[in-house]
Amino acid sequence: MVKNGAKIQVRLVNKVIFNEIYDPLIKFEKIDVTGVRRECHGLQIAKNERTCMFCAQSYPDVKFSKIAHAVSESIGNKTLFNHFECDKCNSAFGQKLEDAFGKYIAPFKFVSQIKGKNGTITIKDMPEDKELSYKTYRLERGSGSDSDKNYFPQDYIIEKSGRGIFRETEEGFAIEIPRNRYNPRLVYAALLKMGYSLLPIDLWDEYVIGITSLGLYVRNEHPFDNNTESEKYINGLPNKGILAQFPGINPLNGVSAFLYQRNEKAPCEYTKLLFRLDFFNFSILIPIVSDRETQCSKFVIPAFQNNPSISVIDFSKEEKIYTAYFSAEKIPIEKNMKETLALELRERGLLKKP
Ligand SMILES: [Zn+2]
């Protein structure tokens, strides 16, 4: 049995107080900070005694030798793990969902300066010209490190004219950050997987069809071994969410993950479970429907501090560009600095030879 689609219309409800509808269920804060490893259900289970929540298979039929991140590693999770995810499902989730999720959050990582292992974050299209390390644009943060190369900036945006990525505004500048092609529904599915991972065991009964359906989908197993059924499943997910954006430097204090549960007195037009992922300047909230819910139409937003800007995410539509606004002071560049910079840019394949 697989999960049928539930209808979710996102209507933002302002007059309702979030805390009157939802109770906090799970909260893991600062999971990006290296430190004590945590199993998200509060358990420590030996590898040869584990069972997978996504395929219901146990050791030794499936192995548990890989480290399963409860929240994606690509967003910066270093400490929160799941002992109920087998290697087979772990690989399938990685192959099927991580690419889309990574592409969707790339502009957010650029804005929040979440750098990769090499100390930089780069957004570019693929080179055609052998002399250049990009096709029409390259955005990079945190690359200038050589002490003798004083003129090379930490952050830069390079684009061929007419691409329209960088523009000046009254307060500073705006960047239209392009995303590489991705399937937005897989981004919802990636977030859904994180929400399921955190779900307390005593609630699994209410979500078991949803959890196993997602597992079958990522593993391409029956009935999702054909395109029609796969499409039907992924299109039938709620595919809605809320994005809250906070100004400043790391206003959300790193990466945190939350689940909220509708309290018993609240009307059932609100989805029973919400997953929230906070990372640096951004918070994403998605509804997670239980196996019995089919119509949940309202969304109420937590009382965020610092007045973020709030928008609805429609995961059935690809958002090719994310626009980020920055405040900045403009300073002139001296002529000799320009020449040195041009030289550096040529050395790095960022500017064509004259
Ligand atoms: Zn599994």
Ligand 1 centroid–CA 89 distance in Å is 4
- 91 CA distance to ligand 1 centroid (A)? 9
Ligand 1 centroid from CA 152, angstroms: 48
Compute the distance from residue 82 Cα to the ligand 1 centre, in Å.
12
The pLDDT value given to residue 153: 79
Between the CA of 302 and the centroid of ligand 1 the distance, in Å, is 33
Domain ranges of the chain: 8-104+181-319
pLDDT (tens digit, 0 to 9) for every residue of the chain, 354 residues total?
A: 555 555 656 666 666 788 889 999 999 999 999 888 999 999 999 999 999 999 999 999 999 999 999 999 999 999 999 999 999 999 999 999 999 999 999 999 999 988 877 788 899 999 988 889 999 999 999 865 555 556 677 888 999 988 899 999 998 999 999 999 999 999 999 999 999 999 999 999 999 999 999 999 999 999 999 999 999 999 999 999 999 999 989 999 999 999 999 999 998 888 999 999 999 999 999 999 999 987 666 778 888 887 899 999 999 999 999 999 988 888 888 888 888 888 888 988 898 887
Q: How far is the CA of 12 from the centre of ligand 1 (A)?
A: 36
Ligand 1 mean position to 56 CA, how many Å? 6
Whole-number Å distance, alpha carbon 208 to ligand 1 midpoint, is 13
Distance 309 CA to ligand 1 centre (A): 38
d(Cα 237, Cα 315) in Å, to the nearest integer? 9
**Distance separating alpha carbons of residues 277 and 288, to the nearest angstrom:** 13
- pLDDT at position 316 is 95
How far away, in angstroms, is 60 Cα from ligand 1 center? Answer: 12
95 CA from centroid of ligand 1 (Å): 14
Helices (H), the chain: 18-21, 87-93, 99-112, 184-198, 204-218, 227-236, 335-347
pLDDT at 12: 66
Give the pLDDT confidence score for residue 289 in this predicted structure.
92
Q: What is the pLDDT of residue 245?
A: 95
Give 331 Cα–ligand 1 centroid separation in angstroms: 55
* Ligand 1 centroid distance, CA of 92 (Å): 9
Q: Show the tokens assigned to 116.
A: 């990769």
Q: ∠ CA 169-324-334 to the nearest 5 degrees?
A: 50
pLDDT at 3: 56
Output helix, strand, coil percentages for the chain, rounded to the nearest 5: 25, 25, 50
Distance 52 CA to ligand 1 centre (A): 5
Distance from Cα 186 to the centre of ligand 1, integer Å: 19
